[in-house]
């Protein structure tokens, strides 16, 4: 391993992040009690002038070791994460997505979490979201349930929440061979990484002190359902590698609700989803909340089922 003066390297995968990066970089520049660390942003195809923004941010924060790589075209999140690790030398690799706003002890707490020995650690998102119809009638309650469920998981299941606010010793990242390049589109590259850490015998823990503000883009039924379709497809890639047991099986939804989900899934493709999910978003702004909630759930769950049964339907890259 390369000798380094840095205790940590913050890896930031970014696509279309010119408006988001100043918040993240400003927060990293304001860290308190942090050991020496570096920050490397990988711009996955520069859609919006992110590279000039990074140049400006480096000048504004000269005390921050900020470097970046710009891909000429979109290569995907896995390629960005692995390139960021390869471009740095910090002992602890911290993944910070470009829409995070870390608190002043983010670096200190991530590094300290590894004093207990080789392991992976996870901080959940404290989501700050626009009040779209989707968010009001469905998303806010799901967000709360998601965190409650995650914190209640037994320790041998916490790897499922590996995502955009995590850290791992570089030695373990290298032992795993990085993120798996077979996950070329949206979804499951993180779950795969967390599971491989767990399967290799290393603990993966969710730590409440690492929870971090997350300025996600406006969430709609359309973008949530599209991600569900792609995640359902990527789930089959995971199952092909590791089997379905780590995910609790690979069964179709049952009961009357499951019948409805399977029926909608049978006709769900990306072009169909573009139309139906936008109609649901419009309806959600005028329908009673319980009815809107059911419609949104049906659309999102059907999209995930379509991806599970027909993984070839997830075609676009985003």
> Cα separation of 126 and 96, whole Å?
14
Domain spanning 8-133+159-214: CATH superfamily? Spore Coat Polysaccharide Biosynthesis Protein SpsA; Chain A (3.90.550.10)
Residue 153: other Cβ atoms inside 10 A? 13
pLDDT digits (tens, 9 = 90+) for 201-216: 999 999 999 999 999 8
Residues 6+ positions from 76 with CB-CB distance below 8 Å:
44, 183, 184, 185, 317
Distance of CA 253 to the CA centre of its chain: 25
Residue-wise pLDDT for 15-52, tens only, equals 999 999 999 999 999 999 999 999 999 999 999 999 99
In sequence order, the β-bridge partners of residue 37 are 8
Q: What is the C-alpha to C-alpha distance for residues 19 and 42, in angstroms, rounded to an integer? A: 15
Per-residue pLDDT tens listing for the chain (318 residues): 445 589 999 999 999 999 999 999 999 999 999 999 999 999 999 999 999 999 999 999 999 999 999 999 999 999 999 999 999 999 999 999 999 999 999 999 999 999 999 999 999 999 988 888 888 888 888 889 999 999 999 999 999 999 999 999 999 999 999 999 999 777 899 999 999 999 999 999 999 999 999 998 768 999 889 989 999 999 999 999 999 999 998 888 899 999 999 999 999 999 999 999 999 999 998 999 999 999 999 999 999 999 999 988 887 655
Q: Where are the domains of the chain?
A: 8-133+159-214, 221-313
Whole-number pLDDT of residue 2: 46
By the 10 Å C-beta count (0-12 exposed, 13-18 middle, 19+ buried), 287 is classed as middle
């Amino acid at each position: 391993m390369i000798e380094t003066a840095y205790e940590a390297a913050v890896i930031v995968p970014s696509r279309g992040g010119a408006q988001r990066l100043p918040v993240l970089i400003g927060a990293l520049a304001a860290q308190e009690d942090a050991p020496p660390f570096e920050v490397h942003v990988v711009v996955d195809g520069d859609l919006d002038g992110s590279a000039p923004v990074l140049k400006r941010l480096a000048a504004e924060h000269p005390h921050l070791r900020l470097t970046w790589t710009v891909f000429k075209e979109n290569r995907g999140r896995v390629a960005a994460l692995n390139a960021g690790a390869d471009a740095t030398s910090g002992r602890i690799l911290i993944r910070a997505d470009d829409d995070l706003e870390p608190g002043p002890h983010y670096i200190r707490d991530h590094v300290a979490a590894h004093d207990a020995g080789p392991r992976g650690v996870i901080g959940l998102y404290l989501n700050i979201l626009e009040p779209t119809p989707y968010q009001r009638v469905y998303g806010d309650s799901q967000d709360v349930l998601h965190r409650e469920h995650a914190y209640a998981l037994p320790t041998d299941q916490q790897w499922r929440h590996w995502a955009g606010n995590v850290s791992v010793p570089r030695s373990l990242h290298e032992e795993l061979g990085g993120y798996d390049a077979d996950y070329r589109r949206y979804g499951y590259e993180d779950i795969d990484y967390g599971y491989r850490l767990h399967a290799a015998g290393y603990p993966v823990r969710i730590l409440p002190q690492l929870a971090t503000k997350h300025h996600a883009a406006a969430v709609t039924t359309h973008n949530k359902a599209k991600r569900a379709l792609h995640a359902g497809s990527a789930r089959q890639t995971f199952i092909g590698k590791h089997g379905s047991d780590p995910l609790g099986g690979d069964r179709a939804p049952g009961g009357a609700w499951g019948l409805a989900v399977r029926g909608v899934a049978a006709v769900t493709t990306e072009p169909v989803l573009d139309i139906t999910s936008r109609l649901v978003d419009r309806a959600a702004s005028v329908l009673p909340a319980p009815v809107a909630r059911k419609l949104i759930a049906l659309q999102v769950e059907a999209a995930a089922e379509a991806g599970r049964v027909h993984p070839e339907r997830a075609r676009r890259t985003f």
